[in-house]
Amino acid sequence: MSNSEYLLSNLDDVISVNSSSLSELAQVIDKNLGFLNIAKSRTRIRPDPFLPPYGAKKFFNPIEKYDENMHLIAFLAKQAISNSRVNTQAYNLLASSLYNLNMMQQVIEVIECAEKYDISTTLLNELQSKATLELGIRETINQKFTQLGYENVEQFEHMQLSPFLSYKGWAKEISGKLITICDTKNTVSNIYRHAHQDFDDVKVHTNKISAEPLVGIQVKQLNILLGTIPFIDNKGLYELDLLHNHLKKQLVKVADTSLLYNPAQLDKYLFSGKYLISAVPNNYFTNYFHALIQVSSRILLTIENPEFDDHKILMPDNTPRWVIEFLILAGVTESRIDIMPTNGISTIEHATILPMNWDVCPNEIAASRRALLKNNSSLAGKKDYYLIRKDVQNYTRALVNEEEIIDACNQRGIEVIDPLDYTLPEQMQLFSNARTLISSGSSSITNMLFAGPETEIIILGPRLFWGMLFPDMAAACGHNFSVVFGDFIAGNNHTKNPHNLYVSDVKSFTTLLDEHICNKW
């Protein structure tokens, strides 16, 4: 053994770290994972290829980094327990980190170890129930349900959920047949500009996206729970805050991916014939961007295929009237749209389920624009608009210094309007005449769908967690796109939500306008 190896082997005799210090270090790491946790959840959105993801200093994979930190927390907590078997906080940290790593069996084993030393906490009890439920042990599900005060447990059905990204695997689980609806090859590109106070000048890029094939799932005698398309028989796709509050009382969430419901207490509905339905969260039908771009545009591309001429369109009863109006503006007859109740179980004789794809598809946007142009007149773009939200007090992604931005717009003759002051047909007519559309990152910028090609689209938004939904939509519409990055006022380390308050740099905004936009007017 060399001298250095000998010294290293004897370090254990001189280095002393107590159990509480190890668990405290693990706590520090855990408390600073807010940024990574949000970044991990937003990996479904295509990140900006010209920036490190989610506003970080360098490129990294947020899922891998999050998991690396979870493994580190688990390691430190395990070492703390090795030093002291009665370190309650260490058991909490070890069990929760293993749960976040989806190691359910190991979670149960750690808690069983804690019980041997008479350690019991609210968190450990919760994790034990959730881990057991995730493993799908029906007896424990029934026991948990009884503890919640419900009777006749055997009457209840267990709904097992999986992420939306598991769409194709989900098709097999519900015995559905995967079909290709559209596989037209289509690649589009546009000018894409970055402006930020940290940049010396406006960065100009070329954004390019390609259409992915649109697939569907065909199923006979499909049962849908509570009018929410992803809840199919005993399998479901899920997203955070999936249901509106009035629906949640019909379900009992017993774990992250486990729901229980009583079919005997729900009304039954039958829809005979063939239907197109969208596998998106129920509340997405009420969101302007999601409803138009990830629901309606997908439907409009699908019905261009003659194979679906005999299919009606099925939507939940919480679908706003303006969604129906949009489809009518695009040439869909109202008699083709049926409404599904959200208070029971609906059976569809023949269903074709359309997927929840997060990325913008050029083919779907093109289908919407073709349908809208066919059924409505278009004007030459010559108006410049800044879109505000007067209901911003109820809106999370709020631009704190918007008055400064509005002043800059007024100085350059850019009209400030609130789209909510107009009906949907009026908005379509208004924005078909747009030369420039500017918005503070709200879904109102979805109105670029109505604008003619080569419209200048400008968004102000926080740099952290920036994704490519709007830039890609602009490319699919044939528009130029610019983003003026801002910063969360809470800072990265204290940002708990990607839609928190932010401030935008006015100088970056005016430089973009004067050097790249207004000089072309």
Tell me the per-residue pLDDT of 112-128, one tens digit each, with 9 for 90 and over: 999 999 999 989 988 88
Please work out, in degrees rounded to the nearest 5, the angle formed at the alpha carbon of residue 46 by the alpha carbons of 45 and 51.
120
Give the mean pLDDT of the chain.
86
Amino acid identity, position 213: P
| CB-based burial, 264-285: b 16+ in 10 Å, e otherwise | eebeeeebeebbbbbbbbbbbb
Mean pLDDT of 441-470: 91
Stated length of the chain: 521
Q: What is the spatial distance between Cα 119 and Cα 11, in angstroms, rounded to a whole number?
A: 32
User: In terms of domains, do 174 and 307 share one?
Assistant: yes
Q: Rg for the chain (alpha carbons), in Å?
A: 26
User: In terms of domains, do 349 and 385 share one?
Assistant: no
Last residue of a domain, one of 332, 359, 386: 359
User: In terms of domains, do 352 and 456 share one?
Assistant: no
Q: Which range of residues forms the domain containing residue 323?
A: 159-184+212-359
Q: Is residue 63 part of a domain?
A: yes
Is the pLDDT at 56 greater than 80? The verdict is no
Q: Is residue 253 part of a domain?
A: yes
- 389: DSSP letter: -
Classify strands 344-354 and 383-387 as parallel, antiparallel or unpaired: unpaired
Q: Is residue 105 part of a domain?
A: yes
Q: How confident is the model at residue 380, as a pLDDT?
A: 63
Q: What is the spatial distance between Cα 262 and Cα 260, in angstroms, rounded to a whole number?
A: 7
Q: How confident is the model at residue 394, as a pLDDT?
A: 45
Q: How confident is the model at residue 41, as a pLDDT?
A: 80
Amino acid identity, position 137: I
Kindly state the tokens that stand for 280. 């998106």
Q: What is the spatial distance between Cα 241 and Cα 213, in angstroms, rounded to a whole number?
A: 28
Q: Quick one: which of 103, 212, 136 has its CA closest to 167?
A: 212
The CATH number that applies at residue 458 is 3.40.50
Query: Which range is most confident: 50-64, 425-439, 478-492?
Result: 425-439
The string of DSSP codes covering 389-433 is -TTGGG-SS-BTTHHHHHHHHHHTTPEEE-GGGS-HHHHHHHHTT
The domain total for the chain is 3
3-state secondary structure of 84: coil
Q: What is the spatial distance between Cα 335 and Cα 125, in angstroms, rounded to a whole number?
A: 52
pLDDT tens-digit readout, 189-241: 999 999 998 888 999 999 999 999 999 999 999 888 887 766 776 677 766 55
Q: Quick one: which of 463, 458, 472 has its CA closest to 510?
A: 458
Last residue of a domain, one of 303, 332, 359: 359
Mean pLDDT of 178-192: 96
Classify strands 214-225 and 480-488 as parallel, antiparallel or unpaired: unpaired
Q: Is residue 368 part of a domain?
A: no
Q: Quick one: which of 393, 440, 465, 467 has its CA closest to 457?
A: 440
Using CA of residue 183, residue 451, residue 425, residue 244, what is the dihedral sign?
A: positive
Last residue of a domain, one of 102, 135, 168: 135
User: In terms of domains, do 27 and 90 share one?
Assistant: yes
Inter-CA distances, 372 with 304, 313, 327, 359, 403, Å: 13, 18, 9, 22, 34
Q: Is residue 329 part of a domain?
A: yes
Inter-CA distances, 181 with 336, 343, 373, Å: 19, 31, 23
Is the pLDDT at 89 greater than 50? The verdict is yes
pLDDT tens-digit readout, 358-408: 889 999 999 999 999 887 766 566 899 999 877 655 445 578 899 999 999
Q: Which residues contact 473 (CB under 8 A, 6 or more apart)?
A: 293, 360, 365, 446, 448, 449
E strand residue ranges, 226-318: 231-232, 235-238, 252-255, 258-261, 267-278, 312-316
Which of 39-43, 232-236, 260-264, 381-385 shows the lowest per-residue confidence on average (mean pLDDT)? 232-236
> Residue 106 CB: number of other CB atoms within 10 A?
16
Please count the CA atoms within 13 angstroms of the CA of 465 that sit on its side-chain side. Answer: 26
E strand residue ranges, 368-432: 383-387, 415-417
CB burial of residue 79 (10 Å; 0-12, 13-18, 19+): middle
Residue that wins the pLDDT comparison between 298 and 251? 298
404 backbone dihedrals φ, ψ, rounded to 5°: -65, -40
Q: What is the spatial distance between Cα 74 and Cα 90, in angstroms, rounded to a whole number?
A: 9
Q: How confident is the model at residue 101, as a pLDDT?
A: 93
Q: Is residue 100 part of a domain?
A: yes
Percent of the residues in the chain that have a pLDDT greater than 90, as a whole number? 51
User: In terms of domains, do 44 and 105 share one?
Assistant: yes
Which helix or strand (DSSP H or E) is residue 94 part of? helix 88-100
Q: What is the spatial distance between Cα 199 and Cα 193, in angstroms, rounded to a whole number?
A: 12
User: In terms of domains, do 386 and 322 share one?
Assistant: no
Q: Which residues contact 209 (CB under 8 A, 6 or more apart)?
A: 187, 188, 189, 359, 360, 362, 472, 475, 476
3-state secondary structure of 202: coil
Q: What is the spatial distance between Cα 518 and Cα 498, in angstroms, rounded to a whole number?
A: 31
User: In terms of domains, do 110 and 233 share one?
Assistant: no
CA 321 to chain centre: 23
User: In terms of domains, do 309 and 438 share one?
Assistant: no
Q: What is the spatial distance between Cα 135 and Cα 245, in angstroms, rounded to a whole number?
A: 27
User: In terms of domains, do 81 and 168 share one?
Assistant: no
Residue that wins the pLDDT comparison between 208 and 491? 208
Kindly state the tokens that stand for 310. 């005999």
User: In terms of domains, do 313 and 174 share one?
Assistant: yes
User: In terms of domains, do 332 and 451 share one?
Assistant: no
Q: Is residue 507 part of a domain?
A: yes
The CATH number that applies at residue 129 is 1.25.40
Q: How confident is the model at residue 1, as a pLDDT?
A: 54
Q: How confident is the model at residue 113, as a pLDDT?
A: 93
96 backbone dihedrals φ, ψ, rounded to 5°: -70, -40
Angle subtended by helix axes 122-134 and 104-116, to nearest 10: 140
Torsion of the alpha carbons at 312, 318, 322 and 324, rounded to the nearest 10: 10
pTM (2 d.p.): 0.87
User: In terms of domains, do 381 and 353 share one?
Assistant: no
Q: Quick one: which of 468, 456, 476 has its CA closest to 188?
A: 476
Q: Is residue 250 part of a domain?
A: yes
Is the pLDDT at 145 greater than 70? The verdict is no
Kindly state the tokens that stand for 349. 């004789």
Please work out, in degrees rounded to the nearest 5, the angle formed at the alpha carbon of residue 296 by the alpha carbons of 467 and 321.
115
